[in-house]
Structures are given as C-alpha cells and as structure tokens.
Amino acid sequence: MSGTALFAGDLSLDATMGIPHVPGPDEKLRVTSFAEAPGGVVTNAAVAAHRSGLDVRLLLRVGDDIASRAVPPLLHAEGLTLEVEEGQGALCRAMILVDPGGEKRLILYPGHSMYPTVAQAKRVSLGGVSWLHTAIYEPEAAALLIERCRAAHVPFSIDLEPVTFRDGIDTLARHIAGAETVFCNSRAADRLGGDPVKTLEALGAKSVVLTQGPAGASWCGQGKVLSVSAPKVDIEDTTGAGDCLAGWFVAETLRGAGPRDALRMAVAAATWSCTRLGAQASFPRRTDIAGSIPS
C-alpha cells in the first residue's frame, strides 16, 4: 500500500518557552529557551509524516491576520501540499511552557483555524488519497469528510483529543465507526475511564493506539495487544510527541508495515522528538532515527 495521505484539522502558531519553574502570581520569569513555529495536532502529524517520506496533502482553514499570512508559506516550504480557505479572524495561537523535566503546560487561543469548513469538506478531492487523518474539532465538517471517505473506501484515523468529547464519547460515535485507527493518549484514556480500548472498539474502531509517554505505546486490535517500549533518552520537551507518533504510524502503515513495525518506527520518531525543543522543529527524518528503533 502507498499513496497520498490527507490530513484535515487544526493550524496554530506556537510559541514554546523553556522555564526554570512555574511562575507565581505577578512573577516576571526569564525563559531559558524559545522556539516559534507552526503547530496544531493534525498539522504536526502531517509534518511528521512528510518528514518520514510520505506524500502529504493538508486541508486547513486560516483567518486574515498577520499569522494567517505568515504561517502557511512555512508549511509550503516544508514540502507539504496545502489546500487553504481564508476567512475572517485570527489564526489559533498556542503558548507552551516547558519545565526542566520536559513536561509542558499549554495555553490555547482557538482562533479561526481549528478545522476546515463544511464547504471545504464537501469539495476537497479524494482522488489519489489513500488515507485520511483528522481530529474532530468541528463535528459536522469532520463527519461529512469521514462519510465521504467511507463511501470511497479510504481508510481513516482519528486523533482523540479530550476536548472533543466533553459531553461523552458517544457524541463521536458517528465519527469513530469504521476508523482504521484511533490514537488515544493517557488524558483521553483517563476521560474515557474503565477500558478505553473496549469502549472505542464498541463504537466501531478497528484498532486503537494507546500512547503512554515515556513508557512507549500499544496497538490494540483483532484481539491482540502489541506493545513497544520507548528508548531511554534525556527529555527536553514532550510537545508534539504524540502527533509525531501518529504521523509516522500512518506513514509506515501506508508503506505496508504491519502494526508492530509501524509502531516501532513511530515510537522511535516520537522519542527522538522529545530530545529537542518545540514540536515540528524537533521532528526527525528517517536518517535521524536509523539505529534507534526499539525492539
């Protein structure tokens, strides 16, 4: 299997700052490091997949502010094929504070760029698309796009963000049904409670990838659980590691890798990204992780 993956979702401008400690009230704190770059859960995954060597199309919505004009050219320079609709408003902004242990605290202004419009979901061509990856930040547009993929027999995956099912996971039942893979981080798993894999499979997910931070990740499907431990590294910044893992897993799957081999590559890439500051700036290329693939 090979081809082009369509990524549909959020775009932000991220400012990542290393901090010596969490500031107290009215404390002025000088940061120890700083990085500014495009971000967004799905956009990050698209960049990671492209860095692995996959042909990527990225469906986005932007606003009409300075950041909306400045950020897309950076993604185009990366080599991604962009399909962008412009509206009125500001691009999403994220401020990410990273403590000395590499853990992050994220402040988000959603802005105008969290998801493509319904009109974009209707008109985007699925010609040549072998996979869709998305997060459900706009339920109606996402449902329409996913239904088109089902009708065209295009496999799709979902990044399950906790904010997208505040009113219960059943609100995403129409999106999850038939998903080839649902990526579920520890926060989403905690919100699901009980047995998150069983819950998602009951809604129609064919497989679930549980990301477990420094412990690695597990692929669950067809009655099997395949676990991959993460290599031991010095963590600088965990921002975007889960997005990196999702992008690499999709890319390896499209190359024909089985779940275990795809997960091994994805965990290696995500772990490598944690050794550097920022999200996209830290994502590896294939040559970067050669020799560091976990068993």
Rounded Cα gap, residues 141 and 121, in angstroms: 6
CA distance 102 to 107: 16
Q: Report whether CATH 3.40.1190.20 matches the domain 4-11+39-92+114-288.
A: yes
Task: Please give the Cα distance from 232 to 74 (Å, whole number).
Answer: 32
Domain ranges of the chain: 4-11+39-92+114-288
pLDDT on residue 295 = 64
Q: How far apart are CA 185 and CA 15, in angstroms?
A: 22
What pTM, to 2 d.p., does this model score?
0.95
Maximum pairwise Cα distance, the chain: 55
**Chain centre to alpha carbon of residue 77:** 20
pLDDT of residue 131: 98
At a CB cut-off of 8 Å and minimum separation 6, what does 205 contact? 176, 179, 181, 182
pLDDT of the residue at 146: 98
Among residues 106, 171, 185, 104, which one has the least CA distance to residue 137?
A: 171
Contact 152, 126 (CB under 8 A): yes
The confidence score (pLDDT) of residue 1 equals: 54
Written as tens digits, the pLDDT of the chain (295 aa) is 578 999 999 999 999 999 999 899 999 999 999 989 999 999 999 999 999 999 999 999 999 999 999 999 999 999 999 999 999 999 999 999 989 888 889 999 999 999 999 999 999 999 999 999 999 999 999 999 999 999 999 999 999 999 999 999 999 999 999 999 999 999 999 999 999 999 999 999 999 999 998 899 999 998 999 999 998 898 888 889 999 999 999 999 999 999 999 999 999 999 999 998 888 988 999 989 877 777 6
Inter-residue contact 62 to 36 (CB < 8 Å) = no
Token pair of 271 as six digits: 């772990």
CA 238/CA 54 separation, integer angstroms: 23
SS3 state at 64: coil
Residue 237's pLDDT is 85
Q: How high is the pLDDT of residue 161?
A: 96
Residues 129 and 6: their CA atoms lie apart, in Å, by: 6
Q: Of 152, 185, 137, give the one whose Cα is nearest residue 8.
A: 137
DSSP 4: E
Torsion of CA 260, 261, 262, 263, to 10 degrees: 50
Give the span between the Cα atoms of 226 and 241, in whole angstroms.
19
Assigned token pair, 97: 């504070």
